Chain A
């Protein structure tokens, strides 16, 4: 369980566990950043497929999924 600790003066500070999680997420993002361009485009198409059907308010139609 993660404790968010109070510093005593009313402001909240994050504990070591949460810091580790944040560090881990940053490392993962950095790993993904280093993927080859082609792999990133493949992931992009997956993202487009996942977002397909989600209609934004005020938008006429859904965006297209790339057909490559």
Chain B
């Protein structure tokens, strides 16, 4: 895992990607009790606008000898999926990501409130399941969350989620 984070960090140091942060299941796991997930999602800001922002990443990692499995690159034993920021919310979430320590290694993870807002936006079954865990187990800054939701017009969706799973508490 240390070497996985080092290799991902190298991509930024070599200006192949811009800012990045861990998202998805591993980001949720960072804030709540351990849960089962199988890949490491890395949200990143491309260094330049291009139709194919993934090629430079894949080329670099291929040259380093890493293998590919469908949409994942297996970096030091871990399937990693690189996801370019695909809207304003995700872009802001990456820019405002927080530092996370894995042993002595420092990396970035999406902030809890941004992570929750992204899951409210995507709202797949697994997002709803993870959102329930977040609201039950983590200390969410509700003021910050509401600010983000308002900015990205997600408040109605959030209210519906609360009504459905938390009796609007």
Chains A and B form a bound pair: yes
Which residue of the partner chain, among B4, B34, B100, B136, contacts A44 with CB atoms under 8 Å? B34
Q: Which of B69-92 contact A (CB under 8 A)?
A: 76-79
Q: Known contacts A33-B31, A33-B138; is A64 also within 8 Å of B102 by CB?
A: no
Binding site for B on A (CB under 8 A): 26, 29-30, 32-33, 35-38, 40-41, 43-44, 47-48, 51, 63-64, 66-68
- B137 and A64 contacting across the interface, CB-CB below 8 Å: no
- B77 and A67 contacting across the interface, CB-CB below 8 Å: yes
Q: Known contacts A44-B36, A48-B38, A66-B77; is A33 also within 8 Å of B102 by CB?
A: no
Tell me, in angstroms, the Cα distance from A35 to B102 when the chains sit together: 11
Binding site for A on B (CB under 8 A): 1, 4, 26, 29-38, 76-79, 100-103, 136-138
Q: Which residue of chain A has the shortest Cβ distance to B1 in the bound complex?
A: A68
Tell me, in angstroms, the Cα distance from A10 to B43 when the chains sit together: 50
Give chain A's interface secondary structure class: helix
What residues on A are CB-neighbors of B38 within 8 Å?
48, 63-64
Which residue of the partner chain, among B4, B32, B78, B102, contacts A37 with CB atoms under 8 Å? B102
Q: How far is the CB of B38 from chain A (nearest CB, A)?
A: 4
Q: How far is the CB of A12 from chain B (nearest CB, A)?
A: 16
What residues on B are CB-neighbors of A32 within 8 Å?
32-34
